[in-house]
Amino acid sequence: MPRITVYGQTITCDRGENLRRILLKHDISLYNGGSKLINCRGIGSCGTCAVAIVGEVSAINWREKARLSLPPHNPDNSRRLACQVKVFGDIEVTKYDGFWGQGDAVISYQ
């Protein structure tokens, strides 16, 4: 079972599970500020669940690539949308500040 490390916690999941669903199931928030209420609920259109990921996950799809290429995101940041990511191996997830998670400061706990 893959392990996900986020905010200093480690949780496990089945291979191929959706990252957003896993984190929310374990009461781990992906959203900053008002985006907790105003988000697309996992269809990949808002970009508020952007995170940095190290480890084995699915390849970026067209929807994710399109959203992350638009402001306020920057395609050079190497962020991913948790709602579009499938977990295939152990990963480390980092959330950043900003409404869309597009900032430069790491969020240490939510």
Q: Tokens 């959330």: give the residue.
A: 95
Collapsed DSSP state (helix, strand, coil) of residue 100: coil
Query: Looking at residue 67, what is its pLDDT?
Result: 96
- Residue 93 · residue 10 · CB < 8 Å: no
Q: Could you tell me if residue 14 is inside a domain?
A: yes
- Residue 74 · residue 97 · CB < 8 Å: no
| Whole-number Å distance between alpha carbons of 58 and 52 | 14
pLDDT interval class at 1 (50, 70, 90): very high
Residue among 65, 55, 67, 60 nearest 92 (CA): 55
HSE at residue 66, side-chain half, CA atoms within 13 A, is 7
What CATH number did the domain enclosing 77 receive?
A: 3.10.20.30
Query: Looking at residue 103, what is its pLDDT?
Result: 94
- pLDDT > 90? residue 58: yes
For residue range 66-96, list pLDDT tens digits in order: 999 999 999 888 999 999 999 999 999 999 9
The alpha carbons of the chain give a radius of gyration, in whole angstroms, of 12
The residue range of the domain holding 3 is 1-93
Query: Looking at residue 110, what is its pLDDT?
Result: 59
For residue range 2-56, list pLDDT tens digits in order: 999 999 999 999 999 999 999 999 999 899 999 999 999 999 999 999 999 999 9
Q: In the chain, how many domains are there? A: 1
